[in-house]
Chains A and B, each alone.
Chain A
Amino acid sequence: MSKEKIQLCDDLSDIMPPEYQDLVATATFGNEERGWKDIGSSKELIEQHSLCAGCPESIAFRYILSSIPSPEDTVFVGSTGCTSLVFPHVAVQNIHSLFGNQNAVASGLHRALKCRFPDRNKDVIVLAGDGATVDIGLDCTMQSWFRGEKFTTICFDNELYANTGGQESGLMQKGFVSKMAPVGKQFDKVRLPEIAREAGCKYVAMLTVSKPNRVEKAIKNAVYIARELGPTYVQLYTPCILEIGKQSMEGLDEMKDAESIGGRFVMKEYITDDAKELLADMEAEKKAKKKAAKAGK
């Protein structure tokens, strides 16, 4: 599917609400070069959302949705959490799974899509919070990695259960006291990026969403590698400003602090050798295409 499939019927297009007409006319469906720089100049695949004002998760959603290489051929699998409040507003196919089942659902979905569309790249992307990924759904998450399922898992790490009042999660930092965990976290933050690497992920990245170009690169790498080689994992720090006592405008500063030297979210990436090779080949191909296009002009 590409942009020509996302069209309105001629006989009824003049009664469709303007936002859908705009989506057809100016969204970046079918554009392989789409990226975060399209935000503001094209119709976004998410506009209104139901998250709190200033929530870094909403920023993450914007960057991810503008970065996925082919939204028309992508299906998101979500799970219970703040992310599940957003999916009803997103102009990309998505499935809501039971809490923690997201990677199992994605495994089945990916296999079904492979049978149904054998000659087309259908990207499956799991997008869930840290509760679903690391606590309740760790079994399904890791089993999908052990099996080498070819899809991307994105974890929005806000270090606690945000929309139920701030309970302790496995990704919460040691010693942190939250509203519903008054004693403070007794053990270290689970090192899921390292677990992912050891469990067979071909590409792992951990970063904040303070820098859109980094997020775009991580998401694109993860999707391209998952298409060809195997599971990939991206952990994004999206702090819950309400639960850590910050103001709406302080989310960005919090992320910048967390990624500064010595912080919990200094960007890290693990890439297997075959994944590095794939990315290098893709880069070379892209350059050759650009060169050919330039020569053609």
Chain B
Amino acid sequence: MSQYQVKAGPEAFLAPAAASMGIVLPDPGEAHIEGRIVPEEEAYEYAARKFLEAKVPTIFPGPLVLWKWNENAAAKAAAIRKLAEAIPARLIPMADYRPKYPKIEPAVEINPNHPNLTIWYNKIDVCIFVGVHCHQANLALKIIRGGTDCYTMAMCAQAGHEDACLSFRDATVEKIQKLQEAVEKLKKQGVKSQAIPFEQFKTACTGQVA
């Protein structure tokens, strides 16, 4: 069995791919926490606790949930919004994977090719990727683990991510709601969010409006 643990970084300039260190993906109904395969229920509570402990918890929604390419995507977007409000967490979109010139605005966007800039700028200590295509999520997760101390989570619609510190698989609307319920349950038990107060930015065609 692998001794390697997928901990928050900074690990190395070039962090090793967790898969190359012996970390395997969870089977359906399971998740992994730092490389340890656990039942999904355990991961919900652990993820919820991580969010509530964080000073700057952040959700990074990707193109698969930002664009209304089907009704399921819209339902996932609604569930993500509710999760963000329940924590409360910042929402910073990963709108697409194009290189951005002349520069990316790290306060309102995360670029998968330089995700560390957004993490550093906003001092994000816990984040979750949802709706990001796997190939880009893997890249971004590895860069974040390599160069920042952010604890990464992934709500993956496919088989999960070894390179996240915690990863769910087969993400559905119901699973996002379960995570929200786990957060609310902990809050009811008296666990308070440690998040620094913030206001979610808002944008329009003309630019940032709030």
| Interface positions of A (Cβ within 8 A of B) | 5-12, 14-18, 20-22, 25-26, 48, 50, 88-89
Given contacts A15-B61, A18-B205, A88-B98, 11 further A-B contacts (CB under 8 A): A6-B67, A9-B67, A9-B68, A9-B77, A10-B68, A10-B74, A12-B91, A16-B66, A18-B206, A89-B98, A89-B101
From B68, B77, B81, B208, name the one whose CB has the most chain A CB atoms within 10 angstroms: B68
Q: Is B78 an interface residue, CB under 8 A from the partner?
A: yes
Contact at B77–A10, with CB atoms within 8 Å?
yes
The reply to whether B204 and A11 form a contact with Cβ atoms under 8 Å apart is no
Given A7-B68, A9-B67, A11-B80, do A16 and B207 touch, yes or no (CB 8 Å)? no
Q: Known interface pairs A8-B67, A9-B68, A25-B205. Does A16 touch B93 (Cβ–Cβ under 8 Å)?
A: yes
Q: How far is the CA of A12 from the CA of B67 in the complex (A)?
A: 9
Question: Is the C-beta of B69 less than 8 angstroms from some C-beta in chain A?
Answer: yes
Give the residue name and chain of the A residue nearest to B78 (CB): A11
* Contacting residues, chain B, for A18 (C-beta < 8 A): 203-208
CB distance from A14 to the nearest CB of B (A): 5
A228 → chain B closest CB, angstroms = 29
Query: Which of B77, B105, B200 has the largest number of chain A CB atoms within 10 A?
Result: B77
Cβ contacts under 8 Å, A16 to chain B: 66, 93, 95, 203
Q: How far is the CA of A5 from the CA of B73 in the complex (A)?
A: 12
Q: How far is the CB of A50 from the nearest CB of chain B, in Å?
A: 7
Rounded to whole Å, the gap between the CB of A44 and the closest CB of chain B is: 14
Contacts of A20 in B (CB 8 A): 95-96
Q: Which residues of A contact B69 (CB under 8 A)?
A: 5
Give Cα A89–Cα B99 distance, bound, in whole angstroms.
7
Whether the pair A22, B205 counts as a contact (CB closer than 8 A) is yes
Give the residue name and chain of the B residue nearest to A87 (CB).
B98
| CB contact under 8 A between A15 and B77, given known A5-B69, A89-B98 | no
Give the complex CA separation of A247 and B71 in angstroms: 51
Q: Identify the interface centre among B65, B76, B93: most chain A CB within 10 Å of its CB.
A: B93
B203 touches A14 (CB 8 A): yes
B99 and A17: CB pair below 8 A? no
Residues of B within 8 A of A6 (CB): 67
Q: Say if the beta carbon of B102 comes within 8 Å of chain A.
A: yes
Residues A17 and B81 in contact, CB atoms below 8 Å apart: no
B52-88 residues at the A interface, CB under 8 angstroms:
61, 65-69, 73-74, 76-78, 80-81
- B184 contacts A by Cβ under 8 Å: no
A15 touches B101 (CB 8 A): no
**Is B195 engaged at the interface, CB distance under 8 Å to the other chain?**
no
User: Considering only CB atoms, which chain B residue lies closest to A89 in the complex?
Assistant: B98
Is there an interface contact between B68 and A8, defined as CB atoms closer than 8 Å?
Answer: yes
Q: B109 interface residue, CB < 8 Å from A?
A: yes
Highest count of chain A CB atoms <10 Å: which of B76, B78, B205: B205
Once A11-B80, A16-B93, A17-B109 are accepted as A-B contacts, the answer to whether A88 and B203 lie under 8 Å apart by CB is no
- Contacts A7-B68, A8-B67, A12-B77 given; does A48 touch B205 at CB 8 Å: no
Q: Once bound together, how far apart are the Cα atoms of A9 and B93, in whole Å?
A: 12
How many angstroms from the CA of A12 to the CA of B202 in the assembled complex?
Answer: 10
**Cβ of B202: which chain A residues have Cβ within 8 Å of it?**
14-15
Q: Is the CB of A48 within 8 A of B66?
A: no
- CB < 8 Å: which of A9, A10, A11, A48 contacts B101? A48
Q: Who on chain A is nearest to B81 by CB?
A: A11
